[in-house]
Structure 1
């Protein structure tokens, strides 16, 4: 197995802004630790960042957010990508939709994605769903994802586990998994 870490929407808008997750600050150090371990093991770390234009369909639901050239659409300082990391910009919930993520993962020989970030019930869920449909093994790090509410978070984790067959793991379990590769 060759894993890649996906860091979903850890943007200023979702961590500190209007569409923030109340538990975002709790997951930052967990994601940072996982990224460091992935770097040390030579595995890819890929950031997926919401990045919208005024005509994007999603804005009809959420209003303007993570807009092109707006500082709110930047990845938070605490998780600033390193020189070997990949940053892909997305205009929909899924990190796979029209981003080239699938091609990049295949080029890198990745067969397992480890998903972290915000929001468990929206972008994390849709990214996990597309990973499932693209035949990747999917691990969702329970203590490295968060949502608007605990109920949204729990619902999405259960859905990903029972409907998509995702492995829902604590970060300590993921660290063991990565270290064994």
Structure 2
């Protein structure tokens, strides 16, 4: 009845994306980001230090950073730690008491902690729209596209995508920023949404060109990712300025699309703008 212990699997890649029935263009000025149920409780079923989940979180973090830079609103869903039997209703039959047995795991995972200007919606059922002001908030802000990330792909994420479609809100399911009980169920959710209720994309499709054109452009990419108000010099260690491992992993994933040898270890070995520009400005082979 409860969620089982989950095993990591290979996340979908570009060649796994099913044929989309619609070709909606992503419009940042019309979009909002949904980070769905990324609470300690739901993520804990993969155990600690799961590489697959680290990559999913890094991809979500990259999308969130992009949204922050482009004034795209960010929404979270989170189940409350206290839920009466009346509130849970049939969820008790299907999943048991769920998160209410582990209230200490109610918060969103540390690496995706909501900012003060983000909206956290109380989650009651599979769809993020159920008993929430999400539809009204989107429409009042002129947003009719919803980027969907989080867990679990074939349950809440797929249901939210379909519910969005029925409310004339275009869902964009981000294949490699989702996780599920299994790869088969993950791919099933993508196939359903691509053919019935939305568009399935990869993280990289929603982000700008992966490689900055100059060292100055690289600096513009890095500065919003830092916690410190002071700007680093080109040879300063970026970790000292608050650059964390999740954002570094997201950068590595983006830049690896052009330079296949770039990985997290390479960036972490010498985390400076000078060193990274030297890596990025190499001739592509």
2:44 equivalent to 1:16: yes
**How many residue pairs end up in the alignment?**
175
Distance 1:140 1:67, change over 3 A: same
- Runs of 4+ aligned structure 1 residues displaced above 2 Å come to 17-20, 22-26, 66-69
Matched, 1:40 2:69: yes
Within 1, Cα distance between the matches of 2:147 and 2:138? 12
Counterpart CA distance in 1 for 2:204 and 2:175 is 10
Tell me how far apart the structure 2 counterparts of residues 159 and 151 of structure 1 sit (CA, whole Å).
Answer: 12
The answer for unaligned runs of 5 or more in structure 1 is none
Residue pairs, 1:9-158, within 5 angstroms: 9-17=37-45, 23-51=52-80, 53-55=83-85, 56-57=88-89, 58-67=91-100, 70-158=103-191
The structure that has the greater radius of gyration is 2
- What TM-score, normalized to structure 1? 0.90
List alignment gaps of at least 5 residues for structure 2. Answer: 1-26, 210-285
Residues in 2 aligned to 1:176 and 1:163: alpha-carbon distance in whole angstroms: 27
Measured in 2, the distance between the counterparts of 1:63 and 1:90 equals 16
Contact 1:65/1:73 (CA < 8 Å) preserved in 2? no
How far does residue 118 in structure 1 lie from its aligned partner after superposition? 0.2
Could you say what secondary structure the match of 1:115 adopts?
A: strand
Larger proportion of helix:
2
2:34 touches 2:149 (CA, 8 Å); kept in 1?
A: yes
What TM-score do the two structures reach when normalised by structure 2? 0.58
Taking CA–CA contacts closer than 8 Å with sequence separation of 6 or more, which of the two structures ends up with the larger relative contact order?
A: 1
Q: CA deviation at 1:18?
A: 8.0
Structure 1 pair 25–60 and aligned structure 2 pair: CA distance change class (3 A): farther
